[in-house]
Amino acid sequence: MSVTATSANLSAEAAPESAIKTMTIMRALNEGLRRAMAESDRVVLMGEDIGKLGGVFRITEGLQAEFGERRVLDTPLAESGIVGTAIGMAMVGFRPVCEIQFDGFVFPAFDQITAQLAKMTNRHEGALSMPVVIRIPYGGHIGAIEHHQESPEAYFTHTPGLRVVSPSTPNDAYWMIQDAINSNDPVIFLEPKGRYWIKGEVNTAERAVPLHASRVVRQGTDVTLVGHGAIVAMLLQAAELAATEGTSIEVVDVRSLSPVDFDPIVASVQKTGRMVYAQEAPGFTSVGSEISATVTERAFYSLEAPVLRVSGWDVPFPPAKIEGAYLPDVDRILEAVDRSLAY
């Protein structure tokens, strides 16, 4: 059953004033991890430089001092070893949370994730849970070097047995990391690092929607814009600009890339008749490809134009100085909106 924003969102007025806090996504993740660790001593953090340093993005700052070195573990520079150790810990009842320092560094652990972690529960016919969270800062917009600005989500969404999610706001970051830790299935938790320092309101008393729910974040009538992670803020910006020219755009934040909550997306497209999917990742065989194909199947007779996609180009992520030519921007999104309206 899908959950839409209109049925699940709690208003700020309904929550105690002390429960509404303004924080960055970075701080929201930190607070979410802290709360999960306080609620269960089976939650253990593992990663390179996450202890005394607090991680390269300071997501785990202060947690080792608070919970000790036995629960916030500085590991060797060995991603395969980190994930392999987490699998063993999950087998005996722990809930490990692994930090991969940058997106491009996940590939040394790829075999452990896709051939072992994702298949372990099925291999044991459901008798063995794998409550492992793998946090991956992903995407561009930070001017970094090679292997530091990848968008590898399609590799993991293609792998049965993995759940894959990506928050776009501080409130989602706070609640989704806790929900991921509480999941008995392995979760790939993709953090849009270009948004780490963006501030927003966090309701620490009540979650807005479940972990695997899509959400309409802006109402509109003419075109539906859909995306995940860092691109959602750009979709909202595009919608604001389009409104100045009389175009009403609805924006849907996918949030969960596997499984995908299609109902709010399809309902939006049935209302607007048009859809554009935007993502930083290359377009070929991507999350955007799958969602676009499924929407076409389920809402074909409501479509007034083909579903269009705006993606990173099908080339390796370029050097930092020219990342602006690679990453989708508001102009490319609005150009796709214009093409959709022209049909």
Cα separation, 277 vs 299, whole angstroms: 15
User: What's the rounded mean pLDDT across residues 268-285?
Assistant: 97
Which residues are CB-neighbours of 106 under 8 A, at least 6 positions away?
A: 79, 100, 113, 134, 136, 152
- What distance, in Å, lies between the first and last C-alpha atoms of the chain? 33
Backbone φ and ψ of 45, nearest 5°: -100, 140
pLDDT of 4 strictly over 50: no
Confidence tier at 144 by pLDDT (50, 70, 90): confident
pLDDT of 3 strictly over 60: no
Task: Give the SS3 label for residue 80.
Answer: helix
pLDDT of 73 strictly over 90: yes
More reliable by pLDDT, 325 or 3? 325
User: What's the rounded mean pLDDT across residues 215-232?
Assistant: 97
Domains 9-203 and 215-342 share a fold: yes
Q: What is the CA radius of gyration of the chain?
A: 20
Task: Give the SS3 label for residue 79.
Answer: helix
The dotted CATH code for 9-203 is 3.40.50.970
Q: Are 286 and 279 in contact (CB under 8 A)?
A: yes
More reliable by pLDDT, 5 or 113? 113
Cα separation, 292 vs 307, whole angstroms: 6
- Nearest alpha-carbon partner for 25 in 149, 141, 174: 174
Render 206-220 in DSSP notation, one character per residue: --SS-TT--EEEE--
User: How is residue 270 annotated by DSSP?
Assistant: H
Which residue ranges make up each domain of the chain? 9-203, 215-342
pLDDT of 15 strictly over 90: no
Q: What is the pLDDT, as a whole number, of residue 210? A: 96
Cα separation, 182 vs 333, whole angstroms: 36
Q: Are strands 43-47 and 95-99 parallel, antiparallel or unpaired?
A: parallel
Q: Which tens digit of pLDDT belongs to each residue from 101-135?
A: 999 999 999 999 999 999 999 999 999 999 999 99
For 200, half-sphere exposure in the C-beta direction (CA atoms, 13 angstrom radius) is 19
User: What's the rounded mean pLDDT across residues 37-46?
Assistant: 98
More reliable by pLDDT, 72 or 142? 72
Q: Are 90 and 96 in contact (CB under 8 A)?
A: yes
Among residues of the chain, what percentage have pLDDT more than 90? 88
Q: Are strands 249-253 and 215-218 parallel, antiparallel or unpaired?
A: antiparallel
The dotted CATH code for 215-342 is 3.40.50.920
Q: Beta-carbon neighbour count of residue 81 at 10 Å?
A: 15
Cα separation, 218 vs 89, whole angstroms: 42
User: How is residue 330 annotated by DSSP?
Assistant: H
Query: Of 124, 141, 147, 148, which is the active-site residue?
Result: 148
pLDDT of 11 strictly over 50: no
Q: What is the pLDDT, as a whole number, of residue 19? A: 87
pLDDT of 12 strictly over 80: no
Q: Beta-carbon neighbour count of residue 104 at 10 Å?
A: 18
Q: What is the pLDDT, as a whole number, of residue 55? A: 95
Q: What is the pLDDT, as a whole number, of residue 13? A: 46
Encoded tokens for 164: 């894959």
Q: Measured at the alpha carbon of residue 88, what is the angle toward residues 83 and 92, in degrees to the nearest 5? A: 140
DSSP H or E segment with residue 226: strand 223-227
User: How is residue 76 annotated by DSSP?
Assistant: P
Encoded tokens for 163: 């759940």
Which residues are CB-neighbours of 13 under 8 A, at least 6 positions away?
A: none
The reply to whether 212 belongs to the active site is no
To the nearest whole number, what is the mean pLDDT of the chain? 93
Alpha helices in the chain (DSSP H): 5-8, 25-39, 63-67, 79-91, 110-111, 120-123, 153-157, 170-182, 231-243, 263-272, 287-298, 323-326, 330-342
